Amino acid sequence: MPPSDDNDARTEYEKLLRAAHQRLEMERSFGLTHVQRPQKTKAVERRPAAPPAPAPPQKEAPAPTPASPEALSKEEALAQLRKECEQCMRCQLARTRTNLVFGVGSPDAGLMFVGEAPGEDEDRQGEPFVGKAGQLLTKMIEAIDMKRSEVYICNILKCRPPGNRPPLPNEIAACLPYLKRQIHIIKPKIVCALGATASKTLLSTDKPIGQLRGRWFDYGEGVKLLPTFHPSYLLRSPWEKAKAWQDLKKIRDTLKAMREGKTEPRTLNPEP
Ligand code: URA
Q: Tell me whether residue 254 is in a domain.
A: yes
The tens digit of pLDDT for each residue in 232-257 reads 999 999 999 999 999 999 999 999 99
- Residue 247 Cβ contacting ligand 1 at under 6 Å: no
Beta bridge partners of 155: 115
CB 202 within 8 A of CB 87: no
How many structural domains comprise the chain? 1
Q: Could you list the residue range(s) of the whole structural domain that residue 187 is in?
A: 72-259
Lowest mean pLDDT among 23-37, 120-134, 171-185: 23-37
CB 156 within 8 A of CB 201: yes
Distance (angstroms) between ligand 1 centre and the Cα of 153 equals 10
Say whether pLDDT at 143 is over 70. Answer: yes
Q: Binning pLDDT at 50, 70 and 90, where does residue 25 land?
A: low
Q: Tell me whether residue 60 is in a domain.
A: no
What is the gyration radius of the CA atoms in the chain, in angstroms? 20
Q: Tell me whether residue 8 is in a domain.
A: no
pTM (2 decimals)? 0.80
Q: Tell me whether residue 42 is in a domain.
A: no
Q: Tell me whether residue 106 is in a domain.
A: yes
Q: Tell me whether residue 84 is in a domain.
A: yes
CB 26 within 8 A of CB 242: yes
Say whether pLDDT at 28 is over 50. Answer: yes
- Residue 118 Cβ contacting ligand 1 at under 6 Å: yes
- Give the number of other Cβ atoms within 10 Å of residue 159's Cβ: 28
Quote the pLDDT of residue 68: 67
Q: Tell me whether residue 14 is in a domain.
A: no
- Residue 93 Cβ contacting ligand 1 at under 6 Å: no
- Residue 128 Cβ contacting ligand 1 at under 6 Å: yes
Q: Which residue, by CA, sits nearest to atom 7 of ligand 1?
A: 129
Q: What is the mean pLDDT of residues 156-179?
A: 98
Quote the pLDDT of residue 200: 98
Give the domain CATH number at 158.
3.40.470.10
The tens digit of pLDDT for each residue in 85-117 reads 999 999 999 999 999 999 999 999 999 999 999
Q: Tell me whether residue 63 is in a domain.
A: no
Q: Where do the H-state alpha helices sit in the chain? A: 3-29, 74-87, 93-96, 120-125, 132-143, 169-186, 195-203, 209-212, 231-236, 241-259
